[in-house]
Chains A and B, each alone.
Chain A
Amino acid sequence: MEISRREFAERLALVAAAPWFLEDLKPAQQQQAQEPSALAKALTEAVRLRYPDRFTVDDLTAITRSIDGRLRAIERLYQTTLTNADEPDFVYSVYRGAD
Protein backbone atom coordinates (compact mmCIF):
# COMPACT_ATOMS: atom_id res chain seq x y z
CA MET A 1 0.00 0.00 0.00
CA GLU A 2 1.44 3.34 -1.01
CA ILE A 3 1.18 6.20 1.39
CA SER A 4 1.54 9.89 0.77
CA ARG A 5 4.36 11.95 2.18
CA ARG A 6 1.88 13.70 4.44
CA GLU A 7 0.47 10.42 5.66
CA PHE A 8 3.97 9.17 6.27
CA ALA A 9 4.72 12.22 8.40
CA GLU A 10 1.50 11.58 10.30
CA ARG A 11 2.46 7.97 10.94
CA LEU A 12 5.92 9.01 11.99
CA ALA A 13 4.35 11.33 14.51
CA LEU A 14 2.26 8.47 15.81
CA VAL A 15 5.40 6.41 16.20
CA ALA A 16 6.82 9.17 18.33
CA ALA A 17 3.58 9.21 20.31
CA ALA A 18 3.01 5.53 20.78
CA PRO A 19 5.43 2.93 19.51
CA TRP A 20 2.80 0.26 18.90
CA PHE A 21 2.03 2.13 15.72
CA LEU A 22 5.42 1.08 14.45
CA GLU A 23 3.98 -2.08 13.01
CA ASP A 24 2.06 0.07 10.57
CA LEU A 25 5.31 1.17 8.96
CA LYS A 26 7.24 -0.93 6.49
CA PRO A 27 11.02 -0.83 6.85
CA ALA A 28 11.24 0.42 3.27
CA GLN A 29 8.94 3.28 4.11
CA GLN A 30 11.00 4.12 7.14
CA GLN A 31 14.06 4.31 4.95
CA GLN A 32 12.33 6.96 2.90
CA ALA A 33 12.83 9.29 5.84
CA GLN A 34 14.85 12.29 4.84
CA GLU A 35 18.22 13.28 6.17
CA PRO A 36 17.48 15.05 9.49
CA SER A 37 17.04 18.77 9.08
CA ALA A 38 19.53 21.33 10.28
CA LEU A 39 16.99 22.40 12.89
CA ALA A 40 16.69 18.84 14.21
CA LYS A 41 20.46 18.62 14.45
CA ALA A 42 20.64 21.97 16.22
CA LEU A 43 17.94 21.00 18.69
CA THR A 44 19.77 17.74 19.36
CA GLU A 45 22.88 19.76 20.09
CA ALA A 46 20.86 21.80 22.58
CA VAL A 47 19.83 18.58 24.32
CA ARG A 48 23.44 17.39 24.32
CA LEU A 49 24.65 20.65 25.81
CA ARG A 50 22.09 20.31 28.57
CA TYR A 51 23.51 16.91 29.52
CA PRO A 52 27.00 16.90 27.97
CA ASP A 53 28.25 13.63 29.48
CA ARG A 54 25.18 11.52 29.02
CA PHE A 55 24.88 10.40 25.40
CA THR A 56 26.69 8.11 22.97
CA VAL A 57 26.83 8.83 19.26
CA ASP A 58 24.08 6.26 18.72
CA ASP A 59 21.93 7.94 21.38
CA LEU A 60 22.31 11.29 19.64
CA THR A 61 21.45 9.76 16.28
CA ALA A 62 18.24 8.31 17.73
CA ILE A 63 17.37 11.60 19.41
CA THR A 64 17.98 13.50 16.16
CA ARG A 65 15.71 11.16 14.21
CA SER A 66 12.96 11.50 16.77
CA ILE A 67 13.18 15.28 16.84
CA ASP A 68 13.23 15.42 13.06
CA GLY A 69 10.12 13.26 12.77
CA ARG A 70 8.27 15.41 15.24
CA LEU A 71 9.30 18.65 13.51
CA ARG A 72 7.90 17.38 10.24
CA ALA A 73 4.67 16.35 11.94
CA ILE A 74 4.36 19.74 13.60
CA GLU A 75 4.09 21.32 10.16
CA ARG A 76 0.64 19.78 9.89
CA LEU A 77 -0.46 21.46 13.10
CA TYR A 78 0.03 24.80 11.44
CA GLN A 79 -2.04 23.79 8.41
CA THR A 80 -5.12 23.70 10.64
CA THR A 81 -6.67 27.15 10.65
CA LEU A 82 -7.06 28.73 14.07
CA THR A 83 -8.00 32.23 15.11
CA ASN A 84 -6.80 34.27 18.04
CA ALA A 85 -9.98 33.24 19.86
CA ASP A 86 -9.22 29.52 19.64
CA GLU A 87 -8.00 28.62 23.10
CA PRO A 88 -6.22 25.48 24.30
CA ASP A 89 -8.58 22.73 25.40
CA PHE A 90 -8.05 23.29 29.09
CA VAL A 91 -9.65 25.88 31.30
CA TYR A 92 -7.72 27.61 34.04
CA SER A 93 -9.77 28.04 37.19
CA VAL A 94 -9.00 30.69 39.76
CA TYR A 95 -8.65 29.46 43.33
CA ARG A 96 -9.87 31.01 46.55
CA GLY A 97 -9.35 29.06 49.75
CA ALA A 98 -11.38 29.15 52.92
CA ASP A 99 -11.64 32.56 54.61
Chain B
Amino acid sequence: MDFAFLSVVELGRLLRAKKTTAAELAAYFLDRLERIGPRYNAVVTVTRDRALAEAAQADREIHQGIGRGPLHGVPYGVKDLIATKDYPTTWGAEPYRQQKLDADATVVERLGAAGAVLVAKLAMVELAGGMGYNQPNASFTGPGKTPWNPGYWSGGSSSGPSAAVAAGLVPFAIGSETSGSILTPAAYCGVTGLRPTYGLVSRHGAMALAWTMDKLGPLARSAEDCAIVLQAIVGRDPKDPSSVARGFHMPAPQATQRFRIGVPKGADKDIQAEVAANFRAALKVLGDRVDIVEDVELPDLPYGAVAGLIIAAEGASAFDDLLKDGRLSQLTAPEDRTGGYPALAVSAPDYLRALRVRRPMQRALDDFLKKFDALAVPTRTTVATPLDKSFRDGWPGVTGGANVIGPTNVVGVPGVSVPNGFGVQGLPTGLSFTARAFDEAKLVTLARLYQSRSDWHTRRPPID
Protein backbone atom coordinates (compact mmCIF):
# COMPACT_ATOMS: atom_id res chain seq x y z
CA MET B 1 0.00 0.00 0.00
CA ASP B 2 1.20 3.52 -0.78
CA PHE B 3 1.28 5.25 2.61
CA ALA B 4 3.72 8.00 1.66
CA PHE B 5 1.31 10.87 1.12
CA LEU B 6 -1.54 9.86 3.37
CA SER B 7 -2.50 12.33 6.07
CA VAL B 8 -2.25 11.71 9.79
CA VAL B 9 -6.03 11.37 9.80
CA GLU B 10 -5.97 8.73 7.06
CA LEU B 11 -3.11 6.78 8.63
CA GLY B 12 -4.85 6.81 11.99
CA ARG B 13 -8.00 5.50 10.40
CA LEU B 14 -6.10 2.61 8.79
CA LEU B 15 -4.41 1.79 12.09
CA ARG B 16 -7.62 1.78 14.09
CA ALA B 17 -9.33 -0.33 11.42
CA LYS B 18 -6.36 -2.72 11.69
CA LYS B 19 -5.70 -2.40 7.95
CA THR B 20 -2.07 -1.71 8.77
CA THR B 21 0.15 -1.79 11.83
CA ALA B 22 2.46 0.73 13.45
CA ALA B 23 5.34 -1.64 12.66
CA GLU B 24 4.43 -1.70 8.98
CA LEU B 25 4.18 2.09 8.86
CA ALA B 26 7.48 2.52 10.70
CA ALA B 27 9.28 0.13 8.34
CA TYR B 28 7.72 1.85 5.34
CA PHE B 29 8.80 5.36 6.36
CA LEU B 30 12.21 4.23 7.64
CA ASP B 31 12.86 2.78 4.19
CA ARG B 32 11.83 6.03 2.48
CA LEU B 33 13.94 8.12 4.85
CA GLU B 34 17.01 6.02 4.09
CA ARG B 35 16.36 5.68 0.37
CA ILE B 36 14.99 9.11 -0.58
CA GLY B 37 16.06 11.39 2.27
CA PRO B 38 19.64 11.91 1.01
CA ARG B 39 18.36 13.36 -2.29
CA TYR B 40 17.10 16.40 -0.41
CA ASN B 41 19.66 16.54 2.41
CA ALA B 42 16.64 16.17 4.63
CA VAL B 43 17.78 13.64 7.21
CA VAL B 44 20.48 13.64 9.87
CA THR B 45 19.72 10.41 11.73
CA VAL B 46 17.23 7.64 11.07
CA THR B 47 16.12 6.41 14.49
CA ARG B 48 15.44 2.84 13.36
CA ASP B 49 15.82 0.96 16.64
CA ARG B 50 13.75 3.43 18.61
CA ALA B 51 11.09 3.57 15.90
CA LEU B 52 10.69 -0.19 15.74
CA ALA B 53 10.46 -0.43 19.52
CA GLU B 54 7.89 2.37 19.77
CA ALA B 55 5.91 0.89 16.89
CA ALA B 56 5.88 -2.55 18.52
CA GLN B 57 4.58 -0.99 21.72
CA ALA B 58 1.90 0.90 19.82
CA ASP B 59 0.80 -2.31 18.11
CA ARG B 60 0.61 -4.13 21.42
CA GLU B 61 -1.53 -1.37 22.88
CA ILE B 62 -3.81 -1.15 19.87
CA HIS B 63 -4.19 -4.94 19.96
CA GLN B 64 -5.15 -4.68 23.66
CA GLY B 65 -7.70 -1.99 22.90
CA ILE B 66 -5.68 0.79 24.48
CA GLY B 67 -6.17 3.96 22.47
CA ARG B 68 -3.87 6.96 22.78
CA GLY B 69 -5.61 9.14 20.24
CA PRO B 70 -5.19 10.07 16.60
CA LEU B 71 -1.37 9.93 16.58
CA HIS B 72 -1.18 6.42 18.05
CA GLY B 73 1.18 4.45 15.81
CA VAL B 74 1.81 7.32 13.39
CA PRO B 75 5.49 7.99 12.46
CA TYR B 76 7.06 11.43 12.69
CA GLY B 77 10.37 13.27 12.61
CA VAL B 78 11.84 16.16 14.58
CA LYS B 79 14.16 18.96 13.60
CA ASP B 80 17.59 18.06 14.90
CA LEU B 81 17.59 20.80 17.50
CA ILE B 82 15.13 18.78 19.56
CA ALA B 83 16.78 16.52 22.11
CA THR B 84 16.30 12.77 21.98
CA LYS B 85 18.16 10.33 24.19
CA ASP B 86 20.28 7.65 22.52
CA TYR B 87 20.74 9.58 19.26
CA PRO B 88 22.88 12.60 18.40
CA THR B 89 21.27 16.04 18.49
CA THR B 90 23.47 18.04 16.17
CA TRP B 91 21.79 21.44 15.87
CA GLY B 92 22.78 21.19 12.19
CA ALA B 93 26.25 22.40 13.09
CA GLU B 94 29.64 20.74 12.79
CA PRO B 95 30.73 21.65 16.34
CA TYR B 96 27.78 19.63 17.68
CA ARG B 97 27.91 16.75 15.20
CA GLN B 98 28.64 14.19 17.95
CA GLN B 99 26.52 15.82 20.67
CA LYS B 100 24.38 13.42 22.67
CA LEU B 101 21.85 14.69 25.19
CA ASP B 102 20.59 12.44 27.93
CA ALA B 103 16.86 13.11 27.87
CA ASP B 104 14.01 13.61 25.46
CA ALA B 105 12.65 17.09 24.91
CA THR B 106 9.19 17.70 26.35
CA VAL B 107 7.68 17.79 22.87
CA VAL B 108 9.09 14.31 22.19
CA GLU B 109 7.80 13.04 25.52
CA ARG B 110 4.35 14.37 24.72
CA LEU B 111 4.28 12.85 21.26
CA GLY B 112 5.46 9.59 22.81
CA ALA B 113 2.60 9.78 25.29
CA ALA B 114 0.25 10.24 22.33
CA GLY B 115 1.66 7.03 20.84
CA ALA B 116 3.49 8.64 17.91
CA VAL B 117 6.59 6.85 16.61
CA LEU B 118 9.84 8.79 16.18
CA VAL B 119 11.53 7.73 12.93
CA ALA B 120 14.06 10.48 12.23
CA LYS B 121 16.07 13.49 13.33
CA LEU B 122 15.70 15.90 10.44
CA ALA B 123 18.15 18.36 8.94
CA MET B 124 18.23 22.07 9.70
CA VAL B 125 20.18 25.22 9.04
CA GLU B 126 23.12 25.33 11.45
CA LEU B 127 22.17 26.84 14.80
CA ALA B 128 18.75 27.64 13.32
CA GLY B 129 20.28 30.43 11.27
CA GLY B 130 21.22 32.48 14.27
CA MET B 131 24.66 33.39 12.99
CA GLY B 132 23.36 35.23 9.94
CA TYR B 133 23.55 32.75 7.07
CA ASN B 134 23.00 34.21 3.64
CA GLN B 135 22.75 31.16 1.38
CA PRO B 136 21.13 27.71 1.21
CA ASN B 137 24.39 25.87 1.97
CA ALA B 138 24.45 26.45 5.71
CA SER B 139 24.39 23.04 7.37
CA PHE B 140 26.89 20.22 7.72
CA THR B 141 24.32 18.03 5.95
CA GLY B 142 24.41 20.29 2.89
CA PRO B 143 21.78 22.66 1.52
CA GLY B 144 18.19 21.57 2.04
CA LYS B 145 16.50 20.92 -1.29
CA THR B 146 12.82 21.25 -2.04
CA PRO B 147 11.40 18.01 -3.44
CA TRP B 148 9.54 20.04 -6.05
CA ASN B 149 12.77 21.00 -7.77
CA PRO B 150 16.02 19.92 -6.11
CA GLY B 151 17.93 22.75 -7.74
CA TYR B 152 16.21 25.06 -5.27
CA TRP B 153 16.29 25.54 -1.52
CA SER B 154 13.88 23.87 0.88
CA GLY B 155 13.77 27.01 2.99
CA GLY B 156 15.05 27.24 6.51
CA SER B 157 15.78 26.81 9.16
CA SER B 158 13.36 23.85 9.45
CA SER B 159 14.69 22.54 6.14
CA GLY B 160 14.53 18.81 6.88
CA PRO B 161 11.07 18.77 8.48
CA SER B 162 9.54 20.59 5.52
CA ALA B 163 11.34 18.61 2.81
CA ALA B 164 10.67 15.31 4.56
CA VAL B 165 6.95 15.98 4.80
CA ALA B 166 6.84 17.18 1.19
CA ALA B 167 8.66 14.08 -0.06
CA GLY B 168 6.47 11.68 1.88
CA LEU B 169 9.29 10.60 4.19
CA VAL B 170 7.25 11.33 7.32
CA PRO B 171 3.55 12.15 7.76
CA PHE B 172 4.40 15.06 10.02
CA ALA B 173 7.38 16.71 11.68
CA ILE B 174 8.19 19.19 14.41
CA GLY B 175 10.07 22.32 13.40
CA SER B 176 10.97 25.52 15.17
CA GLU B 177 10.60 29.19 14.38
CA THR B 178 12.38 32.17 15.84
CA SER B 179 11.58 34.40 12.88
CA GLY B 180 10.25 32.58 9.82
CA SER B 181 11.73 29.11 10.20
CA ILE B 182 8.47 27.15 10.00
CA LEU B 183 6.43 29.29 7.63
CA THR B 184 9.22 29.89 5.09
CA PRO B 185 10.14 26.23 4.49
CA ALA B 186 6.45 25.29 4.57
CA ALA B 187 5.92 27.67 1.64
CA TYR B 188 9.02 26.59 -0.26
CA CYS B 189 8.21 22.90 0.11
CA GLY B 190 4.44 23.12 -0.46
CA VAL B 191 3.37 21.82 2.95
CA THR B 192 1.33 23.23 5.80
CA GLY B 193 3.21 24.76 8.73
CA LEU B 194 1.77 26.08 11.98
CA ARG B 195 3.74 28.44 14.21
CA PRO B 196 2.07 28.45 17.63
CA THR B 197 1.87 31.38 20.00
CA TYR B 198 5.06 31.80 22.02
CA GLY B 199 4.74 29.68 25.16
CA LEU B 200 1.96 27.41 23.94
CA VAL B 201 4.44 24.58 23.28
CA SER B 202 7.25 23.84 25.72
CA ARG B 203 10.75 24.62 24.47
CA HIS B 204 12.39 22.37 27.03
CA GLY B 205 15.01 20.22 25.35
CA ALA B 206 15.09 22.32 22.19
CA MET B 207 18.21 24.28 21.25
CA ALA B 208 17.87 27.89 22.32
CA LEU B 209 18.60 30.59 19.78
CA ALA B 210 16.56 33.41 21.32
CA TRP B 211 14.82 32.38 24.53
CA THR B 212 12.13 35.01 24.22
CA MET B 213 11.30 34.28 20.58
CA ASP B 214 11.77 30.52 19.94
CA LYS B 215 8.66 28.48 19.17
CA LEU B 216 8.14 24.79 18.26
CA GLY B 217 5.38 23.76 15.89
CA PRO B 218 4.19 21.16 13.38
CA LEU B 219 4.64 20.80 9.65
CA ALA B 220 2.25 18.39 7.97
CA ARG B 221 0.05 17.75 4.91
CA SER B 222 -2.88 19.81 6.07
CA ALA B 223 -4.07 22.27 8.69
CA GLU B 224 -6.14 19.49 10.21
CA ASP B 225 -3.04 17.34 10.67
CA CYS B 226 -1.15 20.30 12.18
CA ALA B 227 -4.01 20.83 14.61
CA ILE B 228 -3.99 17.18 15.66
CA VAL B 229 -0.27 17.40 16.37
CA LEU B 230 -0.60 20.73 18.15
CA GLN B 231 -3.27 19.31 20.42
CA ALA B 232 -0.80 16.64 21.55
CA ILE B 233 2.10 18.96 22.34
CA VAL B 234 0.59 22.07 23.96
CA GLY B 235 0.45 22.84 27.64
CA ARG B 236 2.31 24.09 30.66
CA ASP B 237 5.64 22.45 31.36
CA PRO B 238 7.40 23.12 34.66
CA LYS B 239 10.69 22.67 32.82
CA ASP B 240 9.94 25.66 30.58
CA PRO B 241 8.98 28.73 32.62
CA SER B 242 7.73 30.52 29.51
CA SER B 243 5.16 27.80 28.79
CA VAL B 244 1.52 28.55 29.46
CA ALA B 245 -1.38 26.43 30.69
CA ARG B 246 -3.67 27.26 27.80
CA GLY B 247 -4.73 24.24 25.80
CA PHE B 248 -5.73 23.92 22.19
CA HIS B 249 -8.90 22.22 21.05
CA MET B 250 -9.57 21.12 17.51
CA PRO B 251 -12.19 23.46 16.06
CA ALA B 252 -15.35 22.02 14.56
CA PRO B 253 -14.75 20.99 10.94
CA GLN B 254 -17.96 22.55 9.64
CA ALA B 255 -17.55 26.04 11.05
CA THR B 256 -19.86 28.48 9.35
CA GLN B 257 -18.71 31.85 10.55
CA ARG B 258 -17.51 34.61 8.26
CA PHE B 259 -13.95 35.85 8.63
CA ARG B 260 -12.77 39.41 8.53
CA ILE B 261 -9.40 39.31 6.80
CA GLY B 262 -6.94 42.19 6.71
CA VAL B 263 -4.57 42.38 3.76
CA PRO B 264 -1.56 44.55 4.62
CA LYS B 265 -0.73 47.39 2.30
CA GLY B 266 1.64 46.32 -0.44
CA ALA B 267 1.26 42.62 0.36
CA ASP B 268 1.16 41.62 -3.30
CA LYS B 269 2.92 44.60 -4.86
CA ASP B 270 6.38 44.30 -6.43
CA ILE B 271 6.63 40.61 -5.68
CA GLN B 272 6.90 37.70 -8.12
CA ALA B 273 3.89 37.80 -10.43
CA GLU B 274 2.90 34.18 -9.85
CA VAL B 275 3.09 34.62 -6.09
CA ALA B 276 0.81 37.65 -6.33
CA ALA B 277 -1.62 35.89 -8.66
CA ASN B 278 -1.81 32.82 -6.43
CA PHE B 279 -2.46 35.03 -3.42
CA ARG B 280 -5.39 36.80 -5.06
CA ALA B 281 -6.74 33.50 -6.40
CA ALA B 282 -6.62 32.03 -2.90
CA LEU B 283 -8.58 34.93 -1.42
CA LYS B 284 -11.12 34.44 -4.19
CA VAL B 285 -11.47 30.77 -3.25
CA LEU B 286 -12.48 31.86 0.24
CA GLY B 287 -14.89 34.29 -1.41
CA ASP B 288 -18.27 34.04 0.28
CA ARG B 289 -16.82 33.31 3.70
CA VAL B 290 -14.52 36.27 4.09
CA ASP B 291 -14.75 40.03 4.20
CA ILE B 292 -11.48 41.42 2.88
CA VAL B 293 -10.18 44.70 4.26
CA GLU B 294 -7.50 45.95 1.89
CA ASP B 295 -4.42 48.04 2.59
CA VAL B 296 -4.36 47.73 6.34
CA GLU B 297 -1.21 49.06 7.99
CA LEU B 298 0.57 47.59 10.96
CA PRO B 299 1.42 50.06 13.73
CA ASP B 300 4.60 51.91 12.80
CA LEU B 301 7.04 50.51 15.34
CA PRO B 302 10.68 49.38 15.18
CA TYR B 303 10.03 45.65 14.82
CA GLY B 304 13.27 45.05 12.95
CA ALA B 305 15.41 46.83 15.49
CA VAL B 306 13.79 44.95 18.35
CA ALA B 307 14.09 41.57 16.60
CA GLY B 308 17.66 42.30 15.56
CA LEU B 309 18.80 43.17 19.05
CA ILE B 310 16.98 40.35 20.78
CA ILE B 311 18.16 37.61 18.42
CA ALA B 312 21.70 39.00 18.33
CA ALA B 313 22.05 39.39 22.10
CA GLU B 314 20.26 36.21 23.13
CA GLY B 315 21.94 34.20 20.36
CA ALA B 316 25.39 35.44 21.30
CA SER B 317 24.70 34.52 24.90
CA ALA B 318 23.21 31.13 24.03
CA PHE B 319 26.33 30.30 22.00
CA ASP B 320 28.90 32.21 24.03
CA ASP B 321 31.02 29.07 24.28
CA LEU B 322 31.33 28.92 20.48
CA LEU B 323 32.24 32.60 20.34
CA LYS B 324 34.78 32.26 23.09
CA ASP B 325 36.62 29.19 21.85
CA GLY B 326 36.39 30.09 18.18
CA ARG B 327 34.46 27.01 17.05
CA LEU B 328 32.22 29.25 14.98
CA SER B 329 34.96 28.79 12.40
CA GLN B 330 33.77 25.21 11.94
CA LEU B 331 30.37 26.28 10.63
CA THR B 332 29.52 25.58 7.00
CA ALA B 333 28.44 28.98 5.66
CA PRO B 334 31.37 31.43 5.63
CA GLU B 335 29.16 34.28 6.87
CA ASP B 336 28.13 32.19 9.89
CA ARG B 337 31.77 32.00 10.97
CA THR B 338 31.81 35.71 11.77
CA GLY B 339 28.07 36.39 12.15
CA GLY B 340 28.00 36.06 15.93
CA TYR B 341 30.74 38.54 16.69
CA PRO B 342 28.88 41.79 15.95
CA ALA B 343 26.54 40.90 18.80
CA LEU B 344 29.43 41.39 21.21
CA ALA B 345 28.99 45.09 20.49
CA VAL B 346 25.37 45.14 21.65
CA SER B 347 25.16 47.03 24.91
CA ALA B 348 23.08 45.75 27.81
CA PRO B 349 20.99 48.95 27.97
CA ASP B 350 20.20 48.64 24.26
CA TYR B 351 19.10 45.02 24.68
CA LEU B 352 16.94 45.99 27.65
CA ARG B 353 15.55 48.90 25.68
CA ALA B 354 14.43 46.40 23.04
CA LEU B 355 12.71 44.30 25.71
CA ARG B 356 11.02 47.39 27.12
CA VAL B 357 9.85 48.58 23.69
CA ARG B 358 8.44 45.12 22.98
CA ARG B 359 5.78 45.52 25.66
CA PRO B 360 3.96 48.52 24.10
CA MET B 361 4.65 46.85 20.76
CA GLN B 362 2.70 43.78 21.91
CA ARG B 363 -0.23 45.93 22.97
CA ALA B 364 -0.23 47.96 19.77
CA LEU B 365 -0.10 44.88 17.57
CA ASP B 366 -2.81 43.15 19.59
CA ASP B 367 -5.05 46.20 19.30
CA PHE B 368 -4.41 46.10 15.57
CA LEU B 369 -4.96 42.35 15.16
CA LYS B 370 -8.20 42.36 17.16
CA LYS B 371 -9.86 44.27 14.34
CA PHE B 372 -9.56 41.15 12.19
CA ASP B 373 -9.91 37.42 12.47
CA ALA B 374 -6.61 37.15 10.63
CA LEU B 375 -4.16 38.93 8.40
CA ALA B 376 -3.46 37.31 5.02
CA VAL B 377 -0.24 37.67 3.06
CA PRO B 378 1.79 35.63 0.60
CA THR B 379 4.08 33.67 2.95
CA ARG B 380 7.13 34.66 0.91
CA THR B 381 7.42 37.21 -1.87
CA THR B 382 9.18 34.72 -4.16
CA VAL B 383 9.45 31.00 -4.69
CA ALA B 384 12.48 29.20 -3.27
CA THR B 385 16.00 30.53 -3.80
CA PRO B 386 18.26 28.72 -6.31
CA LEU B 387 20.73 26.52 -4.47
CA ASP B 388 23.75 28.21 -5.99
CA LYS B 389 22.71 31.78 -5.20
CA SER B 390 22.85 33.89 -2.09
CA PHE B 391 19.48 35.07 -0.80
CA ARG B 392 20.37 38.55 -2.01
CA ASP B 393 21.00 37.35 -5.54
CA GLY B 394 18.36 34.64 -5.73
CA TRP B 395 15.55 36.70 -7.17
CA PRO B 396 16.91 40.17 -7.87
CA GLY B 397 14.42 42.92 -8.47
CA VAL B 398 11.79 41.64 -6.07
CA THR B 399 11.55 44.47 -3.57
CA GLY B 400 7.96 44.57 -2.41
CA GLY B 401 5.60 42.72 -0.16
CA ALA B 402 4.49 43.34 3.40
CA ASN B 403 6.69 42.18 6.21
CA VAL B 404 4.43 40.30 8.59
CA ILE B 405 6.69 37.40 9.59
CA GLY B 406 9.12 39.72 11.39
CA PRO B 407 6.70 41.77 13.51
CA THR B 408 4.50 38.82 14.42
CA ASN B 409 7.49 36.78 15.56
CA VAL B 410 8.80 39.62 17.69
CA VAL B 411 5.56 39.67 19.69
CA GLY B 412 5.02 35.91 19.49
CA VAL B 413 1.59 35.59 17.86
CA PRO B 414 0.66 32.53 15.78
CA GLY B 415 0.69 31.98 12.04
CA VAL B 416 -0.06 29.26 9.53
CA SER B 417 1.15 28.77 5.96
CA VAL B 418 -0.72 26.65 3.44
CA PRO B 419 0.28 25.83 -0.13
CA ASN B 420 -1.69 27.89 -2.65
CA GLY B 421 -0.22 27.08 -6.05
CA PHE B 422 2.99 27.07 -8.03
CA GLY B 423 5.28 29.71 -9.45
CA VAL B 424 8.33 29.70 -11.67
CA GLN B 425 10.35 26.50 -12.05
CA GLY B 426 7.43 24.45 -10.76
CA LEU B 427 8.06 25.71 -7.24
CA PRO B 428 5.27 26.02 -4.66
CA THR B 429 3.96 29.23 -3.17
CA GLY B 430 2.34 29.80 0.21
CA LEU B 431 -0.53 31.72 1.74
CA SER B 432 -0.19 32.80 5.36
CA PHE B 433 -2.71 33.75 7.98
CA THR B 434 -1.70 35.44 11.22
CA ALA B 435 -3.90 36.12 14.23
CA ARG B 436 -3.92 37.30 17.83
CA ALA B 437 -2.13 35.35 20.53
CA PHE B 438 -3.74 31.97 21.23
CA ASP B 439 -6.07 32.20 18.23
CA GLU B 440 -4.67 29.02 16.69
CA ALA B 441 -8.17 27.53 16.43
CA LYS B 442 -9.23 30.43 14.26
CA LEU B 443 -6.19 29.98 12.02
CA VAL B 444 -6.83 26.26 11.72
CA THR B 445 -10.48 26.85 10.84
CA LEU B 446 -9.54 29.34 8.17
CA ALA B 447 -6.80 27.13 6.73
CA ARG B 448 -9.09 24.10 6.75
CA LEU B 449 -11.74 26.11 4.96
CA TYR B 450 -9.22 27.00 2.27
CA GLN B 451 -8.00 23.42 2.01
CA SER B 452 -11.56 22.13 1.76
CA ARG B 453 -11.93 24.28 -1.34
CA SER B 454 -8.54 23.69 -2.95
CA ASP B 455 -6.27 20.73 -3.60
CA TRP B 456 -2.79 22.29 -3.55
CA HIS B 457 -2.00 20.54 -0.29
CA THR B 458 -2.68 17.15 -1.86
CA ARG B 459 -0.26 17.60 -4.77
CA ARG B 460 2.79 15.35 -4.83
CA PRO B 461 6.26 16.30 -6.00
CA PRO B 462 7.82 14.19 -8.76
CA ILE B 463 9.85 11.78 -6.65
CA ASP B 464 9.50 8.08 -7.49
Which residue numbers of A lie inside 8 Å of B, CB to CB? 1, 3, 9-14, 16-27, 29-30, 43-44, 46-47, 50-51, 54-55, 59, 62-63, 66-67, 70, 73-74, 76-80, 82, 86-90, 93
Contact = CB atoms under 8 A, between A and B. Distances in A.
Given A16-B308, A20-B391, A26-B396, A87 B356 contact: yes
A11 B381 contact: no
Interface stretch (B46-54, B277-285, B341-349): B341-349
Given A1-B270, A18-B180, A59-B338, A25 B392 contact: yes
Contacts of B308: 13-14, 16-17, 70, 73
A17 B156 contact: no
B222 interface: no
Interface in B222-244: 241
13 contacts: A13-B305, A14-B304, A17-B179, A17-B307, A19-B391, A20-B391, A47-B345, A63-B342, A70-B342, A74-B309, A76-B302, A87-B359, A89-B358
Contacts of B241: 93
B41 interface: no
A81 to B, nearest CB: 9
Contact of B178 (A18, A24, A29, A87): A18
B381 A62 contact: no
Nearest to B398: A23
B132 A50 contact: no
Contact of A30 (B392, B397, B403): B392
Nearest to A86: B356
Given A17-B304, A18-B311, A86 B359 contact: yes
A24 B272 CA distance: 12
Contacts of A26: 396-397, 399
Contacts of A23: 381-382, 385, 391-392, 394-395, 398
Contact of B312 (A11, A16, A24, A76): A16
B382 A88 contact: no
Contacts of B355: 88-90
Contacts of A67: 342, 345
Interface size bracket, B side: 35 or more
A67 B403 CA distance: 23
B267 to A, nearest CB: 13
Interface in B112-169: 129, 132-134, 156
B450 interface: no
A19 B357 contact: no
Interface in B278-330: 301-312, 326, 329
A19 B129 contact: yes
B392 A89 contact: no
Contact of B307 (A1, A18, A54): A18
B184 A80 contact: no
A85 to B, nearest CB: 10
A25 B304 contact: no
B360 interface: yes
Contacts of A46: 344-345
A77 B344 contact: no
A21 B403 contact: yes
Contact of B338 (A43, A55, A80): A55
Q: Which of B303, B308, B344, B399 has the most CB of A within 10 A?
A: B308
B320 to A, nearest CB: 12
A79 B392 CA distance: 29
Contacts of A12: 304
A44 B306 CA distance: 21
Contacts of B132: 16, 19, 66
Contacts of B302: 10, 13, 73, 76-77, 79-80
A78 B357 CA distance: 9
A74 B312 CA distance: 12
Interface string B166-204: 000000000000111000100000000000000000000
A43 B269 CA distance: 38
A97 B342 CA distance: 39
Contact of B344 (A1, A3, A21, A47): A47
A24 B401 contact: yes
B415 to A, nearest CB: 14
A82 B395 contact: no
A18 B312 CA distance: 10
Given A51-B326, A89-B362, A10 B304 contact: yes
